[in-house]
Structure formats: structure tokens, C-alpha cells
Amino acid sequence: MKQKVWFVTGASKGFGLEIVKEALAAGDKVVATVRNNAAALLSDLGSPSELTVVTMDVVKELEVKQAVNDGIAKFGHFDVVVNNAGFGIVGAIEEASDEEVRRQYDTNVFGVLNVVRAVLPHLRERKSGHIINISSLFGYGALPAWALYGSTKYAVEGISEGLSLELAPFNIKVTSLAPGLFRTQFLNSQSYSATANVIADYAETMVGQMKNVPDSLHGNQPGDPAKLAKVVIELAAVENPPLHLPVGQDSFQTYRTNRDKISHEIEKWADKFTPTEISA
């Protein structure tokens, strides 16, 4: 199998770290990005010659461009780009401040766009490549208290779909990969962000109940991050990969449930209001 060159964001832990490990185990080369402690990650992984770790924050466009250029200088090109960096915010939409919402979008949405803009000139020049954007089951259906985070993943789904159409002439593939709940540090209280503002009226609603989920669910999620990494490696080997890919039975079920719910509601109301087409 042809050796690939990967560019993976958010590689210090969770999915990013497991994808880096699996790509290296497959004999590929990897540019792994972290916000800090690049030397520590390189050391932890044994400092293989196939790996370069660069310090980069996805919200800082100049850092992203520099990291991409450093990766190209090191390995010559990229075959697979994995937009994995992200975090979650928990709280009712009303509770979230403008600053908190913008920070969520800066990382999960605009960070993806920063990477995409930086890598595409190189991919277009070679007329090949595969962009894998890590979405979430929350991108298939909204949940109270997690709706803002989910909205960023809805955005990732839409961006991925648009990219797939625009990049098809250049033979560049795009996949929006939506994991279910996996045993990463995502639900660790140090990894997600809670809104600073708390409105008492929501305490007895589903918002209040969902705020308690991370503590009880952390460490009990059904998914194995190492197995997801294997899926990503397998996906990168597919000649014509899917645009949308739920991973984990909970993600598949969330997709199916919300697909059916939306379809039923739209069909139910399709003919209930005044037609809006211009009469001839």
C-alpha cells in the first residue's frame, strides 16, 4: 500500500492522538499539530522519523499557514488532512455569552476553515487528497444544553458537503466523520467548557439534567477511540469515500431517528399553508 502523508490537528489526546498512532503503525508519515508541548508528544511517541509535531492553534490563521508550510517542507505533500481539533460547551443557549459562543465557533468552525484554506492550494496543485472533518452525532440532532456545540457540528456537516461539490473537479475527497460517544477525555470536566452564566429556571428542565450527564457518562462511553482510529485509516484507503459517515451505533441511531423525525414533520405540514409560487 502506498505510503501516505497525514496532517492531523488536535493531536495531543483523544481521537487525534489515536489517529496519529495508527497512521504511524500503518507506515505512514504524519504532521501532528498541538497547541503546546510539541516536544513532549514527540518524545512520548518515540520520536520516529516519520513524525513531525508542530505547535499550532487552529484559531490563529498565521500559525496554521506556517504549520502547513512546515509540513510541506518536511514531507513534500499531504494525502490526508484530519480536522480534529475542537471542544464542547455545555449550557442553555440563553446562558452562553457572546464571548463563549464565539470561542466555540472560532475553534470548531473557523478553525476548520483556517486549515482548509491553508491546505487546499497544495491539494489542488496535486489534484488529489482527502479531507476528513471530525463532526459528531450532535451534528445529526440537537440536545438541550449541548445545542451550541451541536450547531458547530451542523456547520461542519454543511461545510463538508459544500467542499465535496467544489473540490470534485480537483479529485479531492471530503468526508464528515461523526463519532458517537467514545471514551476520550471529551467529557472530562477539564476538557469541555460550561457556561459561566447559570439561569435557575433551566435547573428542572432537560438542560439541568443534561448538565449532569458528563460526570456520570465519562469513562462509560461505548466507543473505543483506538478502534475509531482504525476506521479513519481504513477510510483513507477507500478510493471513493463517503461524504457522511456516522461511527458507532449511537451515532447511526441518532442519524436515523432525526432523519425520520424531520421527514415526518416536513411531509405532515407540506400542504397546510398558502402556496407561495407566483401564479402564471
pLDDT of residue 216: 63
The rounded Cα 110 to chain-centroid distance in angstroms is 12
Q: What is the pLDDT of residues 206-237, one digit of tens each?
A: 999 888 776 666 656 767 899 999 999 999 99
Q: Is the pLDDT of residue 167 over 70?
A: yes
Residue 260 clears pLDDT 60, i.e. is over it: yes
Q: Is the pLDDT of residue 130 over 70?
A: yes
The three grid cell numbers given for residue 278, joined into one nine-digit string: 407566483
pLDDT of residue 101: 97
pLDDT at position 190, please? 53
pLDDT at 187: 54
How many C-beta atoms surround the C-beta of residue 235 within 10 A? 18
Which of 143, 233, 155, 235 lies closest to 180 in space, CA to CA?
143
Beta bridge partners of 54: 33
Q: 12: closest CA among 113, 88, 117, 84? A: 84
pLDDT(192) > 90? no
Crossing angle of helices 14-25 and 225-236, in 10° steps, is: 50
- Averaged pLDDT for residues 167-184: 92
**Is pLDDT of 77 > 80?**
yes
Q: Which residue ranges form the domains of the chain, and what is each CATH number? A: 5-269 (3.40.50.720)
Give the pLDDT confidence score for residue 22 in this predicted structure.
96
Q: Please, what's the largest Cα pairwise distance for the chain?
A: 72
* Helix, coil or strand: residue 39: helix
Per-residue pLDDT at 272 exceeds 70: yes
Q: Report the pLDDT value the prediction gives residue 215, as an integer from 0 to 100.
A: 63
> Which residues are catalytic, by number?
135, 149, 153
Q: What value does the mean pLDDT take over residues 69-96?
A: 96
Distance CA 196, CA 34 (A): 26
| 250 to 143, 180, 253, 261: CA distances (angstroms) | 14, 5, 5, 16
Percent of the chain clearing pLDDT 90 (strictly above): 84
SS3 12: coil
Q: Which residue has the cell 472533518?
A: 133
